[in-house]
A and B are shown apart, each in its own frame.
Chain A
Amino acid sequence: MRHILSILVEDEPGVLSRVAGLFSGRGYNIETLNVAPTLTEGLSMMTITTEGDEAIVEQIIKQLRKLVTTLKVVDLTDVKSVEREMMLLRVDAEGAKRAEVLRIVDIFRCKVVDVSLDELILEVTGTQDKLGALINLLQRFGIKEIARTGAVAMRRGMQE
């Protein structure tokens, strides 16, 4: 099953390779990984999505907690949470295609962030599923390039 882990770490040199190395060294898989500073100076938040059965994910979480630079690990899969990912796409949009692409942009609430004669760059945020659906739809127009951030996630406020 897919799990979203939110990991609070000391913002020190090498902290990313400690975390990434833990996954590779123990044969766990990282599907997406995202790191950025938090409100507290000196602390960063990582969001990692990974695949694995319950026992493996339990080990991953314990191993992450064991790292000296880790403050907190939360498996957001178990709690109500919001998950988003941002993606940029460079899409073929020549001539007649353009109108149709723009219609899809509307439906998916994407933004056009760059326009040229034969292509558009689109910006979209959403869940993994939504991004996947968009990719599927746009494929037939010709997607030239994509760049994705990987998921970021946060616990919802109204928890029991």
Chain B
Amino acid sequence: MELTGAQILLESLRREDVEVVFGFPGGAVIDIYDQLPNYPLLQHVLARHEQGAIHAADGYARATGRVGVCLVTSGPGATNAVTGIATAYMDSVPVVIITGQVPTPLIGNDAFQEVDIVGITRPCTKHNFLVKDVRDLPKVIKEAFYLAATGRPGPVLIDLPKDVQQAKCVYNYPKQIKMRSYNPTYAPNPKQVAKVADVVRKAKKPIIYAGGGVIASNASEDLTWLARTFNIPVTATLMALGCFPADDPLWLGMLGMHGTYAANMAISGADLILAVGSRFDDRVTGKLSEFAKNAKIVHIDIDPTSIQKNVAAGIPVVADCKSFLMALRQTLEADVSDASAAPVRDTPWLARLASWKEEKPLAYEQGTDVIKPQYVVEIISRLTKGEAIITTEVGQHQMWAAQFYQFTKPRSFISSGGLGTMGFGFPAAIGAQVAFPDRLVIDVAGDGSIQMCIQELATAVCYGLPVKIVILNNGYLGMVRQWQELFYAKNYCSTCLDVAPDFVKLAEAYGAAGFRVSDPGQVESVLTEAFALPKTVIVDVVVDREENVAPMVPAGKSITEMILV
């Protein structure tokens, strides 16, 4: 049977089991939209800005582990999506982006709404395609989904000219794809696994440093087994929060620039670092020459370019984190059954970690006058028992959410780590809520960031998505203000947000509910009420204006040189 390009696209999405597409129409994709009503099983969520659409697709992907799909028009539609594409790229999130393009005869003519989006997104996609012949389309779509989801996941873009959407051909969707130039390594080299097992047995002061790869490969359970069975303390990056339960005594908290004292000291004192699916980002390592000087480093990553990039690894392992941890488990399981062979841990090490945790915990003091932002996060954590999906924007509130929320499950913390995109959290929450209509989804926001994609309130209200936005409103671009305070002689240039909308009225204007709270005694009751409402809600929490995120490692310093308060 002959189908048009637009039909082929939608039919292929169906065969990829896509349930929802986040998008925004325009002239260059109108043929696809024209066909959408014929595919009733494919839900389309109309965002109010392409940046909202792509972040929503990204949030959907992070919450579910499935591929998120985003559909936008050519030119300005495509360029509006670029920030979201780069965000997904930096955090290795599987998304397929379909952009309309001007008809092939017009490509290169500076036609109306033409932009070379394949050129623009080359450095921020895992791969991209320009489809010039409708007969290539089924294969391209199959490849796009395959590339997005396998290996180190990432965004893949398909640029689809209007005439290709209209052209017809016989439809055959490939069952499988084999690409001669693309073969990611999943299984680890057995010799390397044996080496790792050996150092795990021998280490006196080991530590696990988990990264986003643990979440991406669904390896949390195996990681937890390893840590608990061998008494190995765990720290994690922002991207990996939730991969290990925060109430476990072995949990040290996040490491790095705003990491806990215990985590940063532990990394620095360890004799063995098991870096699993993490990439030694500069926000994590601080000054590289001072990083983990005493440790043997085992680095497991599916992406060979991550290994030896920033830090020399004693034992490099190219593998999927889950495949690796399962292989390691098999090797080590023999030890467990034979108690006498189980590794002897330097218990003073564990004791020292415990005392660090106790002596220098994450702390703040909640008085009776002003609300401390950390307190708000702690209340959210308590009210939701660590089981909500928390998304964040970028800034101080993001760090407080990471520090003070007790995550118990993977895929429940969704935040822009690599690119640090303000405006990400709310649309991402929309995506997560579309995936899980019955879960509580909360965007912990700053008053600055929330204004970057605030128009998506219409989307949330329109689809009846009960997303909760909790604004930690300090009247500042707080994180930048903090840097100005600490490193720029309090020159608060352009970080004061004196003129701000009334967020309660704004919520109401969009048909959502709005609350404001400024009395510490009422935080809990207001949040309880807000979380119980089955609709989109903004809670504007007026917090201490000049509260800072601590600890803080100044940029370029060693991670042991923390400013503690």
Contact = CB atoms under 8 A, between A and B. Distances in A.
Interface of A: 9-10, 13-14, 17-18, 21, 25, 55, 58-59, 62-63, 65-66, 68-71
Interface of B: 118-119, 122-123, 126-127, 130, 147, 179-182, 303-305, 308-309
A62 B305 contact: yes
Contacts of B118: 14
A55 B309 CA distance: 8
Contacts of B303: 66
B123 A21 contact: yes
* Chain A contact residues, majority secondary structure: helix
Given A13-B130, A55-B308, A58-B308, A69 B181 contact: yes
A55 B564 CA distance: 35
Given A14-B130, A58-B308, 12 more contacts: A13-B130, A14-B118, A18-B122, A21-B122, A55-B308, A62-B304, A65-B304, A66-B304, A66-B305, A68-B147, A69-B127, A71-B180
B309 A68 contact: no
A46 to B, nearest CB: 13
Nearest to B305: A62
Closest 3 CB pairs of A and B: A68-B127, A62-B305, A71-B181
Nearest to B126: A68
Contact of B179 (A9, A58, A59, A68): A68
A34 to B, nearest CB: 20
A68 B182 contact: yes
Contacts of B147: 68
Contacts of B126: 68
Contact of A59 (B123, B180, B182, B309): B309
A17 B122 contact: yes
A122 to B, nearest CB: 38
Contacts of A14: 118-119, 122, 130
A148 to B, nearest CB: 27
Contacts of B304: 62, 65-66
25 contacts: A13-B130, A14-B118, A14-B122, A14-B130, A17-B119, A17-B122, A18-B122, A21-B122, A21-B123, A25-B123, A55-B308, A59-B305, A59-B308, A59-B309, A62-B305, A63-B305, A65-B304, A66-B303, A66-B304, A68-B127, A68-B179, A68-B182, A69-B181, A70-B181, A71-B180
Contacts of B119: 14, 17
Contacts of B122: 14, 17-18, 21
Nearest to A10: B181
Contacts of A17: 119, 122
B381 to A, nearest CB: 38
A58 B130 CA distance: 31
Contacts of A65: 304
Contacts of A25: 123
B390 to A, nearest CB: 32
A58 B123 CA distance: 19
Contacts of A70: 181
B551 to A, nearest CB: 31
A80 to B, nearest CB: 26
Nearest to A58: B308
Q: Which of A18, A59, A66, A68 has the most CB of B within 10 A?
A: A68
A53 B335 CA distance: 43
A38 to B, nearest CB: 13
Nearest to A18: B122
Nearest to B306: A62
A38 B180 CA distance: 16
A68 B147 CA distance: 9
A7 to B, nearest CB: 11
A54 to B, nearest CB: 10
A62 B309 CA distance: 10
Contacts of A58: 308
A21 B305 CA distance: 17
A69 B122 CA distance: 12
A66 B127 CA distance: 10
Nearest to A70: B181
A102 to B, nearest CB: 47
Nearest to A62: B305
A136 B196 CA distance: 56
Contacts of B305: 59, 62-63, 66
A18 B363 CA distance: 48
A68 B309 CA distance: 20
A14 B126 CA distance: 14
| Residue from B118, B303, B304 whose CB has the most chain A CB atoms within 10 Å | B304
A59 B308 CA distance: 8
A6 B418 CA distance: 32
A43 to B, nearest CB: 9
Contacts of B130: 13-14
Nearest to B118: A14
A55 B288 CA distance: 15
A113 B138 CA distance: 51
Contacts of B123: 21, 25
Contacts of A63: 305
Nearest to B182: A68
Nearest to A65: B304
A58 to B, nearest CB: 6
A10 B303 CA distance: 21
A59 B122 CA distance: 19
A30 to B, nearest CB: 16
Nearest to B156: A68
A106 B180 CA distance: 47
Contacts of A9: 181
Contacts of A66: 303-305
